[in-house]
Amino acid sequence: MPELPEITVIAKQMNKEITGKRIATIEAKQPKNLNMPVQKFVKTAKGKTVNNVSSKGKWIFIKLNPAHYLLINRGMNADILHFTPNHKLPPKYQFKLTFTDKTGFTIQFQWFGYIHLIPEKDLTTHKLTAKLGISPTDKKFTLEYFKKLLANRKARIKNFLVNQKNIAGIGNVYIQDILFKAKLHPNQKISTLSGKEITNLYHAIQTILNHSIQLGGLAYEKDFYGQKGKLTITKFLVGYKTGKPCPTCKTPITKIKTGSTSSYICPKCQPLK
């Protein structure tokens, strides 16, 4: 499932390719992804121009002129692929948006996913994105902000960090190496963390996510040009590496159940205190 690094990479590429372009036609073969009937969706989008493309957590925000947003969530693993008149379209797609210059993009969902078109004034009340926390790559996500966010919280650290309402963009893939790097057990209570541990955790979040962004994201996710990222599982520190030696102390990595999800930890470097 794509998390913040993969979405950041694709949103930047989309911003570069489609900014300033005017929507000519839309083909939507799977109405359940949309937030309104297909005909209305097409009519509303047609003729609008892309102002810019950004991302927040696992969502892509395409700002349109005049005053609308196209919000895309890739769900489990949707491919969003750029096309130009000289390139063949992908063999399968459920959504196709073409600009007046005949370039555009297709979307092929694997499972669920959303393409919502909303007036700009409804952005603050849009059910799925309005309550998202700040992304760790946002300028507003400072150490001070992070400390305030964790103050007086009673939750366990992993559950808190993967909750998109607290921080947008971290899921079960990147959380593993973040907690290992910060030397924290996933079930550690936030109230027990020292100031130094919170500072280390803040830097671990930045380091792990930015490292992946630099590598173009995960090796099994495609970017806007159909290229796969360079972050393979062999490059993970502990994530998905049950039985392999811990990169710090060589203790075998173990897989444990944490609520409804699995966690990969070094039992020696990440003891539950």
List of residues contacting Zn ion (CB under 5 A): 246, 248-249, 251, 266, 268-269
Identify which of residues 67 and 249 has a Cβ nearer to Zn ion in the complex. Answer: 249
Q: How far is the CB of 245 from Zn ion (least distance, A)?
A: 8
CA distance linking residue 93 with residue 78, whole number of Å: 10
Q: How far is the CB of 258 from Zn ion (least distance, A)?
A: 18
CA distance linking residue 70 with residue 50, whole number of Å: 9
Strand 59-65 relative to strand 49-56, pairing: antiparallel
Q: How far is the CB of 118 from Zn ion (least distance, A)?
A: 47
179, 166, 249, 177: which is closest to 211 by C-alpha?
177
Identify which of residues 89 and 249 has a Cβ nearer to Zn ion in the complex. Answer: 249
Q: Tell me, letter by letter, the H, E, C secondary structure of 36-47.
A: CCHHHHHHHHCC
DSSP 227: P
Tokens of 165: 């309402």
Q: How far is the CB of 246 from Zn ion (least distance, A)?
A: 3
Identify which of residues 153 and 183 has a Cβ nearer to Zn ion in the complex. Answer: 183
Q: How far is the CB of 248 from Zn ion (least distance, A)?
A: 4
Identify which of residues 102 and 268 has a Cβ nearer to Zn ion in the complex. Answer: 268
Identify which of residues 14 and 157 has a Cβ nearer to Zn ion in the complex. Answer: 157
Q: Rounded to the nearest 5 degrees, what angle is found at the Cα of 121, between the Cα atoms of 116 and 124?
A: 75
Cis check: omega of the bond before 66, within 30 degrees of 0: yes
